[in-house]
A and B are shown apart, each in its own frame.
Chain A
Amino acid sequence: MSHTLDIVAQNVLWNRLVSVCEEQANALMRAAFGAIVREAGDLSAGVFDANGDMLAQAVTGTPGHVNTMAASVRAMLAFVPADSLKPGDVLVTNDPWLGAGHVFDFVVVTPAFLDGDIVGYLASTSHIVDIGGRGWSAEAASVHEEGVTFPVMHLRRGKALNEDLLAIVTANSRVPHEARGDILSLLSCNDTGVARLLDLMGEYGLADLVSVAEFIFERSAIGTKKALARAAQGVYENTMMLDGYDAPIELRARMTISDGAIAVDLSGSSPAVGRGINCPLNYSAAYASFGIRALLTPDIPNNQASLDAITITAEPGLVVSAERPSPVSARHVIGQALPDLMLGCLEQALPGEVLAESAGALWTLSLSGAGKTPFTSLNVALGGMGARPETDGLSTTAFPSGVGSVPVEAAEVAAPVIYHAKEFICDSGGAGQYRGGLGQRIEIGSRINEDMFMSAAAFERLTSGPEGRQNGKRGANGKVSITDGTEVTDKGMYRIPAGERVILQTPGGGGYGAPAARDQTALDRDVADGLVSQNSAREIYKPK
């Protein structure tokens, strides 16, 4: 084969590797039991070279899984050396510090053998519905209460499934058969990926992935460096205040942009807290680098080289770098705030090119039976995305998370709840030349007239809404109350008595640019649509 042919073939191979992962991810999504994986895509899948460096990954998937998994393979091989692995072997862990930041996420890694040698690995991650412990809440005082942790171990040895592991899962989970099925679907989607990878190598007569890996890493490194050069070099700082569990938390970042690399130090952020909203550094790094990459390198595929250009560090023991045994179940409350923290740094390097702050962390809406009838209902309540430099923010749309909501009809079929309303909130989008996305009002009660529990673990931004940019105004803060008069003020568990309802109001996105600069037609349309009140139009947008 000539060199020129190599370029075309390498090109094709790269695309095919992405397609292998895509197929793996689709297989996983179809086989998953949790609505949050199935409807919303809370998963990832990727192919790695023999060194454990990520070559390609499915475009389906959410950033928290995607970017953590890149490091998981090598981390897991540190516990079980590659040379001890045999064909058929499969490794698994749900260790929050090796996987995706909480015990619900299982990472499964399968080596691909060709002629007796490991040529690469297939890995996948997804959210398992329940793994024991306290279930989904921030109430645990340590990770030990949050469910069963499986250190790195074999899920399969040769042809033999590790039934002991699966028995421990089924003994501890509140939904044992689904949890077992979800873990098996990770195993099976990797098997699919291995088969496709070997087919591909056979088709192209490859004995290893070394040359295609070099091609991918070299091209990605050059492309990333070029793209990062758009941002002015320098050191930029930003801070952000969150509500915290029951006391405010500060997040700090110091971002250094140098030639072709970005280094972020999160030191100085608040120390880890006693409830489960702490975030392991791997998950913090995943979301922080997602924020940077979405703005600066959106066209460059995820792989070791494109991720290596961005490093995230922090001194240990902070809320962004929690250590065992800190509780971490709702780690996304902190992790998903980090893209906005990063974008605030980048605004200084690229003034006028950065969207306003968004509602941030997904509001996980976890309801369960507190009366005679046991049930759990998991959904998300989404707020507004920040306004963009040339357009309004998207209303009630997840960002930075990539998941969506479960439809009301599907949620009501699955659990005895009634959604009484789900509607935009007027004036919740931050005012600006471009308006922030709107938040929504959701009202829910019991269908069977029994008490319900609700975890408030992820209801963030209740005290101040997302900030605007370039003189844009803040979006509305969130608000959660129960019709018996209870106001949600911390991230604990709340009881919704029979006959009462919970009313959630999600935050709106920040506005972009001065409100007075808003196009009159756009403002008139918002008023006609009832998205901006006449009063706000008069007082905030166009004061006399």
Chain B
Amino acid sequence: MIKFSIDIGGTFTDVVAETETGLTSVKVLTTPASPDRGALDGMGRLLANLGKTYADISAVIHGTTLATNALIERRGAKTAFVTTAGFRDVLDMRYEKRFEQYDLNIEMPKSLVARPLRLGIKERILADGSVYQAPQDDEIDALAATLLREKVEAVAIGFLHSYRNPAHEAYVADRLQKTLGDTVTICQSADVACEIREYERFSTVCANAYVRPLMSKYLGALKAELNRLGFDGSFLMMLSGGGLTTLDQAMRFPIRLVESGPAGGVALAAHVAREVGSNKTLSLDIGGTTAKICFICDGNPHTTRRFEVARAWRDVKGSGLPVRVPTVELVEIGAGGGSIAGVDTLGRLKVGPRSAGSDPGPAAYGRGGGDATITDAHLTVGNIAAEGFAGGMISLTPENAPKVIAQHVQGPMGIADVDTAAAGIIELADETMANAARVHGIELGHDIASFDLLVSGGGGALHAARIAEKLGIRRIIVPQNAGVGSAVGFLRSPVAFESALSVMAVLAEVDAPELTQRVVDQLAHVRAIVGEAVPADHIDATVKFELRYQGQGLEVALDYPADSFVIDAAKLEAEFFRRYENLVGFTLKNIPVELVSVSVTAREKRGLDTQDFTPQNANDPVATRQVFDLAAQKRLTYQTLKRSSLGPTLTQGPAVVTEDQTTTLVRPGWSVHTSDQGHLILDRSEA
């Protein structure tokens, strides 16, 4: 049997096939007009190579950035927003706060629904869930007439306090659907993101409605075409939160797909972490323009429900549209191979966030790029070699690299030699990434020195050792097959679904039997969704509580067993105090503990279907390379090794390990070997 995964990104589409004998993959250009064409083309080629047909495929797993791109490019459906009368501008008012204090020219993102299509209806639920004013049928019908006249394709409904009582949203949705018919998509905010804070919930439901017609049409067509070609297996979609879901669920909540590509990358990292027995893993992916960090504990990536898409102002945090859906929590840093180094107005060295991208790319690409990039710095100090760069796909003009560094950094800063300037650029990039990891780790309450560092992307293995040194980390993992990471990650992801309930009540006053019932119902709901693709006895469920001191912003998440679930307030409170003390250093007296929300997740149980790998040490002749070292202030002799020649025997650094897509730098004080699964492992051999 064959499993396929398809990752459709903005530029490339990766298709991976997994058979009993291993993985094969193909990369094709994305075909934006009808993205399924590129995907089917790739599948066809792999099937031909394998001598198989569509009927031999047992499962197709798909992730895509199409929804994200539709949001960024504003190519979604003509959408109306129906809300509580008097509150239609919530979408434009946002947080009523500037996301940058000292930039007087910032712009806020345009809302997805233009003001004339934001329509109020007289209805009101209060904070306790009680009905203050019920919606009137004649007003709903008049509204339906307007929506018909305007020929809207999608309707988002968001009423105040619907997270507490969704009855009005459901009633209005039902009545509108009867008039508008099945061709118009209708989404309710309590269905999409059942959480308090109107702006974020309304923003989420609008984004979902906005992309749903497009996504259902695309996914429906892809599935139909696969079936026409003879495919009869299961079709699953990758979610932003790192799990898989059924096509039906994906078509209902396409907003949950927005980060599926990066989630796939993290899923692969999590899988590798489980393979090598790493319980605490810091995943770092360094690409061409950004680096992404994610913490993975016990093989599970850290997730959040705070995410924003389509940033409107220089990619600044806070300038995008918030969506409250489960998402793997990636901290993004503007530092990658193409990041541009220079000197700022204060005469300080600066690296990123501006990037030369891949076109024109680093100066050494010889495509007209005149800026000094991180890649140019690596070439200058000898971390990477011009020969065989990117598997020989890009031929370099290496002499450009020291020239641009001399021009943009060494000269303006008055640094004595170009090597030191280049090493300074790399050191600052390492520092920026290490610091982002340090800060995020502290926020999550982690002791970062006890983690392993798992790197991917073209630049991960180049920077890993120095970043690990800065963080006190003693083990580095460089996985196999990092090139098509996301698509491989899809194959390693469990079917899963998460749903959250806002509670916002003092823990001691919670009606435990009532809430227990709500949670049990919700558990049944998420189990049923996962059950569409997985047998019931293969499903695990978890419940997570978010608690805080009333009035405080610090929310503490506690995991709770889902089996024979009953709420035990006293136990929860005791656990909250323990965790709070751990995070903050003290607990407080006389302040009630509040239950903010409960989230439930059902997840497919999965084994570690790994393939055996027998590493062998080859006896290649040892070559060497001179690499500049900032601390030593001179070039040191590194031996150069091919990755394929490394086996289980430890090789002591300094060494560089080369392969087509990346170079691993084994700094002095580190050793390297290949694990039983084929991953490179670097160990710190001295303090």
A contact set with B: CB distance below 8 Å: 2-5, 7-8, 11-12, 14-16, 19, 22-23, 26-27, 29-35, 38-41, 59, 61-63, 176-178, 180-181, 184-185, 188, 191, 203, 219-220, 222-223, 226-227, 293-295, 298-300, 355, 380, 382, 388, 390-391, 394-399, 402-405, 407-410, 412-413, 418, 420-424, 440, 443, 447, 528-531
Q: A32 touching B552 by the CB < 8 A rule?
A: yes
- On chain B, the number of residues with a Cβ less than 8 Å from chain A's Cβ atoms is 73
Contact of A5 among B124, B344, B630 (CB under 8 A): B630
Contact of B96 among A184, A298, A404 (CB under 8 A): A404
Q: B86 touching A299 by the CB < 8 A rule?
A: no
Contact of A11 among B428, B554, B630 (CB under 8 A): B428
26 contacts between A and B (CB under 8 A): A4-B420, A5-B420, A5-B630, A7-B349, A19-B435, A31-B552, A38-B553, A59-B101, A178-B591, A184-B588, A219-B346, A223-B345, A227-B345, A293-B102, A298-B104, A355-B104, A390-B105, A394-B98, A395-B93, A408-B87, A409-B160, A409-B196, A409-B197, A409-B198, A424-B92, A440-B89
A314 to chain B, nearest CB (A): 25
Docked complex: B114-159 residues within 8 A CB-CB of A: 114-116, 124, 126-127, 132
Nearest opposing residue in chain A for B505, CB measure: A413
- B residues near A300, Cβ cutoff 8 Å: 345-346
B568 is an interface residue with CB less than 8 A from chain A: no
Q: A4-B420, A299-B345, A422-B93 are in contact. Are A178 and B428 (CB under 8 A)?
A: no
Docked complex: B403-419 residues within 8 A CB-CB of A: 413-417
Most B Cβ at <10 Å: residue of A388, A421, A531: A421
Contact of A410 among B196, B348, B470 (CB under 8 A): B196
Q: A423 touching B504 by the CB < 8 A rule?
A: no
Nearest opposing residue in chain A for B88, CB measure: A423
Q: A409-B160, A413-B196 are in contact. Are A403 and B102 (CB under 8 A)?
A: no
Contact of B98 among A8, A355, A402 (CB under 8 A): A402
Q: B96 touching A31 by the CB < 8 A rule?
A: no
A203 to B127, CA, bound (A): 51
- A residues near B132, Cβ cutoff 8 Å: 418
Q: B97 touching A188 by the CB < 8 A rule?
A: no
A409 to B56, CA, bound (A): 53
Contact of B105 among A388, A410, A421, A530 (CB under 8 A): A388
A40 to chain B, nearest CB (A): 7
A215 to chain B, nearest CB (A): 9
Q: Please name the 5 residue pairs, one residue from A and one from B, whose CB atoms are nearest each other, closest first.
A: A404-B97, A421-B86, A38-B553, A30-B554, A8-B424
A355 to chain B, nearest CB (A): 6
Q: B591 touching A407 by the CB < 8 A rule?
A: no
- A residues near B97, Cβ cutoff 8 Å: 40-41, 397-398, 402-405
Q: B443 touching A423 by the CB < 8 A rule?
A: no
- A residues near B95, Cβ cutoff 8 Å: 404-405
B313 to chain A, nearest CB (A): 11
- A residues near B435, Cβ cutoff 8 Å: 15-16, 19
B103 is an interface residue with CB less than 8 A from chain A: yes
B108 is an interface residue with CB less than 8 A from chain A: yes
Nearest opposing residue in chain A for B442, CB measure: A23
Contact of B424 among A7, A219, A294, A395 (CB under 8 A): A7
A7 to B196, CA, bound (A): 48
Contact of A412 among B161, B424, B442, B584 (CB under 8 A): B161
Q: A16-B435, A23-B442 are in contact. Are A422 and B89 (CB under 8 A)?
A: yes
Contact of A12 among B88, B427, B551 (CB under 8 A): B427
- B residues near A8, Cβ cutoff 8 Å: 349, 420, 424, 427-428, 630
Q: B415 touching A7 by the CB < 8 A rule?
A: yes
B191 is an interface residue with CB less than 8 A from chain A: no
- B residues near A38, Cβ cutoff 8 Å: 551-553
1/0 per residue B75-93: CB within 8 Å of A? 0000000000111111011
B585 is an interface residue with CB less than 8 A from chain A: yes
1/0 per residue B544-574: CB within 8 Å of A? 0000010111100000000000000000000
Docked complex: B32-55 residues within 8 A CB-CB of A: none
A407 to B588, CA, bound (A): 26
B431 is an interface residue with CB less than 8 A from chain A: yes
Q: A19-B439, A191-B585, A410-B197 are in contact. Are A530 and B96 (CB under 8 A)?
A: no
B contact set with A: CB distance below 8 Å: 85-90, 92-93, 95-98, 101-108, 114-116, 124, 126-127, 132, 160-161, 163, 196-199, 344-349, 413-417, 420-421, 424, 427-428, 431-432, 435, 438-439, 442-443, 470, 504, 549, 551-554, 584-586, 588-591, 630, 633
A168 to chain B, nearest CB (A): 17
Query: Interface majority SS on B: helix, strand, loop or mixed?
Result: loop
A219 to B105, CA, bound (A): 25
A298 to B442, CA, bound (A): 29
Contact of A399 among B98, B413, B416 (CB under 8 A): B98
- A residues near B346, Cβ cutoff 8 Å: 219-220, 222-223, 300
- A residues near B590, Cβ cutoff 8 Å: 176-177
Could you list 12 further interchain pairs (A-B, Cβ under 8 angstroms) beyond the known A181-B591, A408-B198, A423-B87? A4-B415, A15-B431, A26-B443, A35-B551, A178-B591, A300-B346, A398-B96, A404-B96, A409-B197, A412-B161, A424-B93, A530-B116
Q: B92 touching A391 by the CB < 8 A rule?
A: no
Q: B105 touching A181 by the CB < 8 A rule?
A: no
A443 to B504, CA, bound (A): 24
A99 to B98, CA, bound (A): 25
Q: A32-B553, A294-B101, A423-B86 are in contact. Are A14 and B116 (CB under 8 A)?
A: no
B312 to chain A, nearest CB (A): 12
B413 to chain A, nearest CB (A): 6
Q: A33 touching B551 by the CB < 8 A rule?
A: yes
- B residues near A388, Cβ cutoff 8 Å: 104-105
Q: A529 touching B115 by the CB < 8 A rule?
A: yes
Nearest opposing residue in chain B for A38, CB measure: B553
- B residues near A16, Cβ cutoff 8 Å: 431, 435
B582 to chain A, nearest CB (A): 13
A409 to B95, CA, bound (A): 13
- A residues near B345, Cβ cutoff 8 Å: 223, 226-227, 299-300
A286 to chain B, nearest CB (A): 13
- A residues near B414, Cβ cutoff 8 Å: 7
A531 to B114, CA, bound (A): 12
Q: A34 touching B551 by the CB < 8 A rule?
A: yes
A410 to B502, CA, bound (A): 12
A390 to B424, CA, bound (A): 39
A83 to chain B, nearest CB (A): 28
A356 to B160, CA, bound (A): 35
A29 to B555, CA, bound (A): 12
- B residues near A27, Cβ cutoff 8 Å: 584
